[in-house]
A and B are shown apart, each in its own frame.
Chain A
Amino acid sequence: MNPKTDDVQPEAMEGSHEPGGGFTILFLLSTVIAVITIAAWYHAAEDPMGHIPRFFVTPWMIAAGQEILHGLQEFSGRPLEPVQPLPRFLTLTSLFLITVFGPTLYFFGIRERILSRSAIRLRWPASITSIVGAVITLPTMITLLLAVPLQHAAFVGLKEAQAIQYDRDFIINDLNLIAWDIFEYRVRPKSMEGEGGGPAAGYMLPPHLASTEYGRYAIKVVGDQVEIRSESRRYSGATITASVGEKGTLTNWKFEGEFR
């Protein structure tokens, strides 16, 4: 066979499939990387802290969980605890995965595939690393692109729900003030400016309690029972109704509309 004039047969151009020493190292490396990746995902699913999302593709979710944890500690009056090693480790691991490991394996693998296309078929150990890179990188890309509009929509909904809850809480505070005012009216003797003494008949809401920043209030006196009805200024149709007991306590709560 003349190497200068005879074409090399296509089959002969395919490389040997017998593994060498380098193959073993690459295979072991690929296996270790795949195992670490699977372990990391599994560990994320375990959610040991209870506040960290199970899917820590986005390390800022871990930081957000830490922020909320601090808020809960302040809510309870506990001193702020420093960030524990586990969240730090998970944040760093997540960053390594999505900015270093995944993209490095993926882009190197892509380049090798492109360059090797016209040459011999790509050796399969190198393919494993590019597959691992793709397994990390492609879901990360899809998650990041989809997460932005979804999280924004969720945030808008959360703010609205919280605004409604605020309104409800302030109206409940106003109802407590009215209930106490009715109690005072019942307890004070009739000699005090012609008011009160015994039953609540004759009670009228003072102007500063009939209309506040958060709601409008009306009372209905039936015998010795007083019922207060409140309507939110901000949310039409959102009402709270309650009955005032003898000692000024509120019972028979009913929430309608947005307050339900």
Chain B
Amino acid sequence: MTNGNTEPFGVGMKHETITIEMKKETAVMMIWLAAGMLLVLSAFFLFGESNSLWEPLMGAGIAGGVYLTTLVVYCTRPPISFRRRWITIGMTALTAAAAVVGWAGQKERSQWQRETLLSIRTVIGGGIAFHATTDILRKPFEEFHAQQGRVRKSLGETFLARYSKSKVGANIYTSESQGDSLQVILERVDDQKVVLVVLDPIARGRDPMFRNIDGRLGKLQQRFFLREKGLTYESEN
């Protein structure tokens, strides 16, 4: 007995049933996809316009993890065998654990690298500050000690003779490039000593609450004292 086509009637019925089942399954899959996307999307934008990707990623990651857990439980429900179910859940859990460890590790690494960049900037800033200051003080120091005869200029006078346009309180450093923001401020000049305060407005100092000479907070600052005997300095921040 046939249904008018070439197929036996019973097989055609079973074929239609399976086709309907598969269409239903596809529809269910589409619903899952839509729900998963909505969940992850909502969690991602829950944190608004943050300055970092970690917070939105954490929120969306947790939402994704919840979705994945329910998905695995749903897809491995009976009549999937108990053994196959738990193998699948175990592999998924292992992969999720690796993801969490990788995530946490990568966050730690990137934050360490960012901190390291700032520390490197401080070390470089200190070296540049010393180099810039000694460049300024080298000539006056040489000229002061090269004086012959009874009439000699004081150290301060020798300094001002070379840097005649320098005023107390002003930045006497000439930037070497557009990105060079170092400041060398002439704080004091008298017969016995010259005091320079060097500020790097970009390099981070030891104390983030330290008030710098120009009113900034927490930047690298050193104070240099040039006397007849030589140079000393204090690292203020």
Q: Which residues of A contact B (CB under 8 A)?
A: 1, 3, 8, 12-13, 15-16, 20, 22, 26, 58-68, 70-72, 74-77, 80, 82-83, 87-88, 91-92, 95-96, 98-101, 103-105, 107-108, 110-112, 114-116, 119-120, 123, 126, 129, 140-141, 144-145, 147-148, 151-152, 155, 158-159, 162, 165-166, 169-170, 172-173, 176-177, 180-181, 183-184, 187-189, 192, 247-248
- CB of B211 within 8 Å of the partner chain: no
- Whether the Cβ atoms of A111 and B127 lie closer than 8 Å is no
- A191 and B125 CA atoms in complex are apart in Å by 36
- Binary A-proximity of B56-76 (CB < 8 A = 1, otherwise 0): 110011001101100110011
| CB-based contact A99/B142 at 8 Å | no
Chain A residue contacts of B126, Cβ below 8 A: 173
Closest to A152 in B: B105
Instruction: Return the chain A residue nearest B116 by Cβ.
Output: A162
Which residues of chain B have C-beta atoms less than 8 A from A22's C-beta?
19, 23, 26
The complex places the Cα of A2 from the Cα of B74 at a distance, in Å, of 40
Can you name 8 A-B pairs with beta carbons within 8 Å?
Answer: A3-B10, A58-B103, A74-B121, A100-B67, A108-B28, A144-B98, A148-B101, A166-B123
Q: Which residues of B contact A (CB under 8 A)?
A: 1, 7-11, 14-15, 18-19, 22-23, 25-26, 28-29, 32-33, 36-37, 40-41, 44, 49-54, 56-57, 60-61, 64-65, 67-68, 71-72, 75-76, 79-80, 84, 88, 91, 94-95, 98-99, 101-103, 105-121, 123-124, 126-127, 130-131, 134, 138, 141-142, 145-146, 179, 181, 201-202, 228-231
CB-contact partner of A248 in B14, B37, B134, under 8 A: B134
